Every structure is written in structure tokens, then in C-alpha cells.
A and B are shown apart, each in its own frame.
Chain A
Amino acid sequence: MSACAFPSLPTRARRSWTAWAVGLAVALAALVLVAPALRWLFWDATWVGQSRAACGPAGACWAMITARAPQILLGFYPAGHGWRVGLAVAMLAVGLAPLAWRRRAGLTMLTAPVGALACLALMGGAGILPSVPSAYWGGLALNLIVGAVSAIFALPIGILLSLARRSTLPVIRILASAYVEAVRAAPLIVVLFAAAVLVPLLIPPQWSLDKLTRAIVAITFFEAAYMAEAVRGGLMAVPQGQREAARALGLKGWQVLVFVVLPQALRTATPALVNSFIGLLKDTSLIYVIGVLDITGVLRNAVSDYAWQGLEPEAYIFVGLTFWLLCFGLSRWSAALERRAARAQGAPS
């Protein structure tokens, strides 16, 4: 080391000086630029009121958001039944809970679909509670429900697709690959249109599913193609020696898959899976094409109301922020899960 005695310390010192200077300049510039935005967003904003008239001219008019809060959360779900929506979303969470329970995370494969079905049953009534047609479901709850339910059913389908793509039977392999490639080349909005408009033309009306169910099924099969790719990456990362060791111990083919290969593949695929779920959650806004009002639709509806006309900036800033918080929270949560899994196995983190 002494042979190459470059003046590393002085350089570093000088660099840290410039770093300080640049940092300070950027911070000042940011403050100058951001200060008016912050004033508009918070300082001069109006938080409550019954119409745009209540809002001052200089600041944001959040009164629209607070006045419409119930719809933003629940859509036009009947008054007095909001608890069902809350419980339905809680069902999703309960179904996903085993994920946090390291030794039994695989149980989620069973509990999550049960939670998803319970969620849909509560929302619709299931013949026990007063029926609420899906046209009345809406708001942020609808985004969460559509996103989570689709993802929950898309994962097992995606796993099957990824396994099919590695099948030794060429027919299965080619069909699965063709499906995945075709879906990945189609925009979701086209798929949703097809589900909303085309399917009723092709299927006799007495067999037809409800519009929202059709959309959920379409999103599920759309998302499955992306999840299949994520899982395929995970499968490829499992060394051949793992399968050999499992087979040498006498495990049958499906046992090798369930107890040895998939747990490792899914762990590797988790970041990619979460990533594709985040994309899905943002895409749930596209269900406006079937005429239901998710959080975006509710706000679009609000700004077309005479009382709140012209408040598009507030509406879109609010929607953007909500999605950002959700997605950022999700990515932090998945990172925490990964870190914990790595720590449990003693990997240097």
C-alpha cells in the first residue's frame, strides 16, 4: 500500500468541502422552489368547507377532500353498511397475516384465497346480509380489494404458469410461454375493455358474471403472467443440487417442489413479485372503463360537481399522494420482510 502513496486524504477533504457547498446550494434552491408549493399545499390551504366558495384564492382547497371523505374511502356503498367494507378489507389482511409468521409463511397460499373470498362475500352480501351490487362499490376500498384479490389469485396461477414453462412436455411449455408473452404485450386497459365489452357478446347472458367480477378475473389472469415471470426467475436461481439432494432423500417430485424448490424460489422472487403488485395496485384505477368509481373516479366525479369545479390539481395531487404512500409503504414492508428472513438465516445483512 505504501508504494502507492497517493494523497488520498487531502483529496477526500477537498471533496467533502465541495460536497458541503453543493449540498447547501441544492438545499437553498430547493427551499426557494419548494417554499411556494408548501405554502400552497399547507399554509394557505383551506381544510373544511361545503363548496369551493369556502376556499381562499391563494391556497389548495382540501375542503373537497374532507367533504367527500366517505366516498373517497368507500364509494357509494350504502350508508350504514360502511362497517362491511372495513371488515372486508380486514379479511384480506387476516388472510395475508401468515406471511409475517416465518415458519408458516406457506400457509398464506391457503389463507389468502379464503380471506379474499370472505372479503368479496362481505361486500356483496352473500345472500345473508343485504345485497350490495358491485356498481355501488367504490373508493379507495375498491382499489385495495381489486388489487389484493387479483394478486392473491394471480400468484398461484403465476406459479403454475412458471412451472408449465419449465415442463418437459413441449405442448404445455409452448402454450404457457405463448400465454405469458401475449399477455405481457397487451395493455391492461385493452384486457379490461375486452372483459367488459367483448365477453358479454360471446357468452350467453344467463352465464355472464357480474361486471366487476369479470374485471377482477381479467386483472387476475393479466397479473398472473407478470408473476409467472417473477417466479420463473426465482426458480432458475435454485441450484440443481437442491433438487438432487431432495430426490436422493426420497422426496417425490411434488414434494421436492413444495418443500424445497418453491420456498427458495418464492423468497428470491419476492422483490420482483412486490414490484409487480405495486404496478397492479396503481393500475386498479383503470377499472373506470367498466364504469365503477374507484378513488380516481370518485374524485373525477367530485370535480365535475358545480360546487367543486376546477379543483383537478387538488384531486390529482391527492390521488397521487395516496398511491405513493400505499406503494412506498408496501415496498418498505417487503424490504423489512426480506431483511428479517435474511437475518433469521444468519446471512450478513
Chain B
Amino acid sequence: MSQPMIEIADLQKWYGDQHVLRGVDLSVRSGERIVVLGPSGSGKSTLIRTVNGLEPHQGGTIRVDGHDLDARGQAGAAARRATGMVFQAFNLFPHLSILDNCTLAPIRVAGLARAEAETQAMALLERVRIADHARKFPIQLSGGQQQRAAIARALAMAPKVMLFDEPTSALDPEMVGEVLDVMCGLAESGMTMMVVTHEMQFARDVADRVIFMDQGRIIESGPPASFFADPREARTRAFLGRLRA
């Protein structure tokens, strides 16, 4: 077995006085699909935001693709570059066309020539099935299309891990499926994924492992079949019970 793609050890995070992550340990293999569940405020978003360096942490270590996220210079940058992020609110850049959204970072960060970046972006837009809308602006697209564009934008930087924070929570129900489809395809292509979601069907069908967080800790984890059929912890059972109700 090669080294893990993500390795989190004793992660501690405070917002002011509030202890939000209280010693999280997690190791994610290359190609593994993790779904993160937990009640509101349990620290799911905070966890994946610290993994890609959007939030600083105050204790513990995070290694992505073998690089320490907190290292200065090259190694830290390599760790951050290894992750791509998809947000609940899409966060597409409204002043840029879909194509320009997908080429901004490849051109400005990775240093690609515009033509090359556009060819690559078009291939990705093809893959998320919105190549026809490449010249449109975000506001002209439906929510589902915008979220697929946001996935393409993140993929354009060729990340090794994709992080998703409730990617379908801001969508109308009829658009949830098209985004989950794209994510499922991504999983099949072997991408390492960490997904915060309330879509239990996605967790059952796609996840290799489900982790359950409560009050800043991972209190239970396991393959979806056993996790859903036979949760060990009372808090997990309560959470799943509320979902079914």
C-alpha cells in the first residue's frame, strides 16, 4: 500500500474561544471516496476547509499527497495545489464567462498558454456536459449547470483530491441528480474525493467509507453498508433516525 493521499493527525481548530475541531484523525487512500456526515455545526465544513488551507488550524498536522500543508514554500504550495474545492454556493466568478472561469487559474497560476488552457477547459466542460454554454456567463445558467461548471473549474487545476462542501444543498431538487451524476463519474475515474453531503443515496452508492462527525470529532466511520445498517454509536443512530423521519 502506497502512502495515503490525505493524512490528518490530531487536528485542532478554534474560532476564538470555540473549539471547533477537537483532535481529528483521518487517513484517506488514493482513489478513496469519503462521505462526511454529521449534524449542523459539527465541523464538517471546517474540516474540509482546513484540508485545502482556506482555514488555518492551530494544532495537529495535515499532509496532502505527501506534502505538509503548513510547510513554507514549495511543499506547502504543493499540498494546497493538490486539492480542488467545490462550494455549496458555486462561487463562480460572475464577471467572467464559463470558459474564462475555467481558464483563469490555469493561465495565471499554472502558467498555461491561453489556447492550451482553453482546449483543456473545453474538454472538461464537455465532460460535465456544459460545453455548449462555455461562452455564457454564470448568471445565464441554471444552478445545476453552474455547479457542474464549478466542478470543471476545480478540475482544470488537475487536483489529486476533490473536496465538496454540500455541493447540492443550494439546488432545486430537479437539478440535484445532474450534479450527483457528474460526481459519480468523477468517482469512477478514480479521483480521491471527500464529500460533505446530505444525499444518503450518494453515500450508499458511491462512498467507500462514511465518516460521522459530532462536536468536532469523528465518532464513527465505516463502509456505507455497515454504517447505515448497523451504526454503533447512539448519536449516529439518532442522526440517521432523524433523517428517515
Contact = CB atoms under 8 A, between A and B. Distances in A.
Interface of A: 239, 241-242, 244-252, 255, 259-260, 263-264, 267, 344-347
21 contacts: A239-B89, A241-B87, A241-B91, A242-B93, A244-B91, A245-B93, A247-B53, A247-B54, A248-B54, A248-B154, A249-B84, A249-B154, A249-B157, A251-B108, A252-B109, A255-B108, A260-B104, A344-B137, A345-B139, A346-B136, A346-B140
B153 interface: yes
B137 A346 contact: yes
A59 B109 CA distance: 69
B91 A245 contact: yes
Contacts of B91: 239, 241-242, 244-245
Contacts of B92: 245
Given A259-B104, A264-B95, 9 more contacts: A242-B91, A248-B52, A248-B154, A250-B77, A250-B110, A250-B157, A251-B105, A263-B95, A346-B137
A260 B52 CA distance: 19
A246 B85 CA distance: 10
Nearest to A244: B54
Contact of A345 (B80, B81, B94): B94
Interface string B66-93: 0000000000010011011101010111
A250 B87 contact: no
A138 B222 CA distance: 81
Given A346-B136, A346-B137, A245 B87 contact: yes
Contacts of A249: 84, 104-105, 109, 153-154, 157
B136 to A, nearest CB: 7
A154 B138 CA distance: 32
Contacts of A239: 89, 91
Nearest to A266: B95
Interface string B94-111: 110000000011001110
Contact of B94 (A246, A247, A259, A264): A264
Interface in B151-166: 153-154, 157
Interface of B: 52-54, 77, 80-81, 83-85, 87, 89, 91-95, 104-105, 108-110, 136-140, 150, 153-154, 157
Q: Which of A247, A248, A251, A347 has the most CB of B within 10 A?
A: A248
A260 B153 CA distance: 14
Nearest to A347: B139
Contacts of B80: 250
Contact of B139 (A245, A246, A255, A346): A346
A244 B157 contact: no
A249 B81 CA distance: 8
A347 B108 CA distance: 27
Contacts of B87: 241, 244-245
A241 B89 contact: yes
A255 B105 CA distance: 10
A78 to B, nearest CB: 47
Nearest to A102: B95
A340 to B, nearest CB: 13
Nearest to B88: A241
Contacts of A245: 85, 87, 91-93, 150
Nearest to A260: B93
Nearest to B92: A245
A242 B157 CA distance: 17
A234 to B, nearest CB: 12
A314 B91 CA distance: 57
A259 B108 contact: yes
Contacts of A247: 53-54
Contact of B140 (A246, A248, A252, A345): A345
